[in-house]
Amino acid sequence: MASTESGIPVEPVYGPGDLTEWDPQVQLGVPGDFPYTRGIYPNMYTGRPWTMRQYAGFGTATESNARYRQLIAGGGTGLSVAFDLPTQMGHDSDAPLAHGEVGKVGVAVDSLDDMRTLFDGIPLDRVSTSMTINAPAALLLLLYQLVAEEQGITGAQLTGTIQNDVLKEYIARGTYIFPPGPSLRLTADTFRYCRAEIPRWNTISISGYHMAEAGASPAQEVAFTLADGIAYVRTALAAGMAVDEFAPRLSFFFVARTTLLEEVAKFRAARRIWARVMREEFGARDPKSMMLRFHTQTAGVQLTAQQPELNLVRVAVQALAAVLGGTQSLHTNSFDEAIALPTEKSARLALRTQQVLAHETDVTHTVDPFAGSYAVERMTDELEAAALGLMRRVEERGGAVAAIEAGFQKAEIERNAYRIARETDSGERVVVGVNRFALEREEPYEPLRVDPAIEERQCAALARLRAERDGAAVTAALAALREAAAGTANVLYPMKEALRARATVGEVCGALREVWGTYEPTGSTC
Ligand code: 3HC
């Protein structure tokens, strides 16, 4: 018998007998109402389509700015910034550790000067921007706010999201800086700062995507992501915030795989679990606190370097799963992403894929069209049960942070990744163009390459900045930041002053490293 990616058996036929314990009033409800199985808005895409938000950024701020303008001109409805690894790790482009990585997987941002260039000519009061940045998320948000202020735009007008999800960095992605304790303190400071200063900002994007890319099954992806979500809620509550003060601005981020039916079930199950956790465990009263709002990216790990045009087909199916699952925002991968950074043409094709789904198909005409499907409702229930079971195992280990420290989630994900690799190697799992229907000779493909001179240009700009700025003001601002970090005051206020004085990302993170130390991963004890 076939089984789902989560290892749940799939029946050849489903019927009424599969839903005997299923009560549409309890499990389903109506769209826009608890438990939000059918979606968070009553009218969903009939009222407003999802945000088409293509993750992009490479080289210097100038090149990335040009790509953002192209995406907006081409009909993209939100921005999504990719930062290079040095920025993600809180190092300047001229740091020894940055060498060879500047501008490679995203844009290099060292200071307010780069951020100003990155958003030049982009009206920040009219576009919502997501920034994939975690350990230094607060810094990049403040730089964004400073640029907006220069454009005459207030914090109240800004909309967007910072990823800011350090817990999954320890589990799957790896761009952590500080140990969990100070990282979570910074998260709580950011929640509080945003509530006061940038109230429409989504303060975190609690991410299962990277766990899935590392090999997590759909059930693991949901369970470990929501368990991280619970850890953030507990952190904010412990810092003295009331649940309805911060929970409406928590957001999530999941993958969409080619296994369309299970993915639709996954999104529906995740919404239901979160709504119940927030209402029943944390006593949320504001419906917005119970709504699981999420971004989706199509599964990069399922793309192949062989016959790369096949990826266009995979991405269309994956994107359809996200839309049928009720996503709020979507990134469709470019077909050449398994090979290199997307070219301008492939990035456009990826966006066009979303536009075909939104404007040529009928899936946006009615809300949650799978509701009542014997197969999908049964899968939704089963996925919910599987995820809840895993969430209990996290709780038994003392919650997400303790489980991370014991290496639990990582070990579980690695076990599943090994299973997938074994099935692929044996041919039991078909990957078209790779282990079946392969070509004898692949056609050559010329990918986009990042100019190695970018690093030199970025370092020269940093040298100029350090020579021009008021060094004494920077030193004083960094000292004030260190003092706040050592005490209990919200660090974002002195951080903003340091960045305004043109302290660099590396200097600000360096000051925090001095006070908070850095994280050293431990091996699994599971
Ligand atoms: N009825 C009423 N209102 C509606 C509506 C409807 N049908 N549809 C939308 N709206 C409203 C919303 O309420 C919202 O208003 P608000 O700001 O006042 O709350 C507004 O319209 C915008 O709609 P959404 O919130 O639905 O959509 P957004 O796009 O603004 O936000 C999000 C979506 C998921 C909440 C947000 O967090 C987001 O955009 N996330 C993106 C994350 C992202 O792009 N990440 C990239 C990761 S790449 C990565 O990690 C790199 C690598 O390692 C893979």
Give tens-digit pLDDT for 234-288.
Answer: 999 999 999 999 999 999 999 999 999 999 999 999 999 999 999 999 999 999 9
With a Cβ cut-off of 6 Å, ligand 1 is lined by: 41, 43-44, 47-48, 51, 53, 55, 78, 80, 128, 130, 132, 159, 161, 163, 200, 202, 205, 209-210, 251, 253, 293-295, 297, 328-329
User: Would you say the pTM of this structure is higher than 0.90?
Assistant: yes
Among 376, 402, 426, where does a domain finish?
426
Is 441 a member of any domain?
no
What's the pLDDT score for residue 329? 97
Question: Does residue 235 sit in the same domain as residue 335?
Answer: yes
Atom 13 (ligand 1) nearest CA: 41
Question: Does residue 357 sit in the same domain as residue 403?
Answer: yes
What's the pLDDT score for residue 71? 87
Question: Does residue 349 sit in the same domain as residue 498?
Answer: no
Q: Which domain holds residue 370?
A: 16-426
CA 102 – ligand 1 centroid, Å: 29
Instruction: Determine the Cα–Cα distance for residues 318 and 333; give it in Å rounded to an integer.
Output: 10
Instruction: Determine the Cα–Cα distance for residues 374 and 56; give it in Å rounded to an integer.
Output: 39
Instruction: Give 80's strand partners.
Output: 55, 130
Question: Does residue 88 sit in the same domain as residue 162?
Answer: yes
Is 10 a member of any domain?
no
What's the pLDDT score for residue 90? 98
What's the pLDDT score for residue 483? 98
What's the pLDDT score for residue 58? 87
User: Which of 191, 40, 205 has its CA nearest to residue 129?
Assistant: 205
Nearest atom in ligand 1 to 288's CA? 19
CA 408-412-415 angle, 5° bins: 140
CA 328 – ligand 1 centroid, Å: 5
Instruction: Determine the Cα–Cα distance for residues 178 and 512; give it in Å rounded to an integer.
Output: 8
Question: Does residue 416 sit in the same domain as residue 489?
Answer: no
Instruction: Determine the Cα–Cα distance for residues 394 and 229; give it in Å rounded to an integer.
Output: 12
Is 329 a member of any domain?
yes
What's the pLDDT score for residue 191? 98
Residue 132: phi, psi to the nearest 5? -85, 90
Among 406, 426, 446, where does a domain finish?
426
Is 522 a member of any domain?
no
Question: Does residue 203 sit in the same domain as residue 144?
Answer: yes
Instruction: Determine the Cα–Cα distance for residues 189 and 481; give it in Å rounded to an integer.
Output: 13
Q: Which amino acid is at 189?
A: D
Is 8 a member of any domain?
no
Whether 111 and 507 have beta carbons less than 8 Å apart is answered as no
Please tell me the total number of residues recorded for the chain in this structure. 526
Question: Does residue 510 sit in the same domain as residue 365?
Answer: no
What's the pLDDT score for residue 501? 98
Neighbours of 453 (CB within 10 A): 10
Is the ipTM beyond the 0.90 threshold?
yes
CA dihedral (11, 17, 21, 22) positive or negative: positive
Is 438 a member of any domain?
no
Radius of gyration of the chain (CA): 23
CA 421 – ligand 1 centroid, Å: 34
Question: Does residue 487 sit in the same domain as residue 346?
Answer: no
Question: Does residue 502 sit in the same domain as residue 353?
Answer: no
Name the stretches of the chain with pLDDT < 50. Answer: none
Question: Does residue 239 sit in the same domain as residue 294?
Answer: yes
What's the pLDDT score for residue 183? 97
Is 314 a member of any domain?
yes
CA 293 – ligand 1 centroid, Å: 7
Atom 51 (ligand 1) nearest CA: 132
Atom 18 (ligand 1) nearest CA: 200
What's the pLDDT score for residue 526? 56
Residue located via tokens 């769209």: 31
Half-sphere exposure of 18 (CA within 13 A, CB side): 18
For residue 468, how far is the Cα from the chain centroid? 36
- Give alpha helix (H) positions in 247-373: 260-276, 287-290, 310-324, 344-359
pLDDT digits (tens, 9 = 90+) for 191-234: 999 999 999 999 999 999 999 999 999 999 999 999 999 999 99
Domain count, the chain: 2
Distant-in-sequence, close-in-space partners of 167: CB < 8 Å, separation ≥ 6: 180, 228, 231, 232, 400, 401, 404
Residue located via tokens 């109506």: 30
Among 426, 441, 470, where does a domain finish?
426
Say what the alpha-carbon torsion angle 23, 288, 236, 391 is, to the nearest 10 degrees. 20
The three-state (H, E, C) secondary structure of 338-400, written as one string: CCCECCHHHHHHHHHHHHHHHHCCCCCCCCCCCCCCHHHHHHHHHHHHHHHHHHHHHHHCCCH
Instruction: Determine the Cα–Cα distance for residues 103 and 455; give it in Å rounded to an integer.
Output: 7
Atom 49 (ligand 1) nearest CA: 132
What's the pLDDT score for residue 335? 95
Question: Does residue 40 sit in the same domain as residue 138?
Answer: yes
Question: Does residue 267 sit in the same domain as residue 381?
Answer: yes
Nearest atom in ligand 1 to 205's CA? 37
Nearest atom in ligand 1 to 331's CA? 44
CATH number at residue 224: 3.20.20.240
Is 350 a member of any domain?
yes
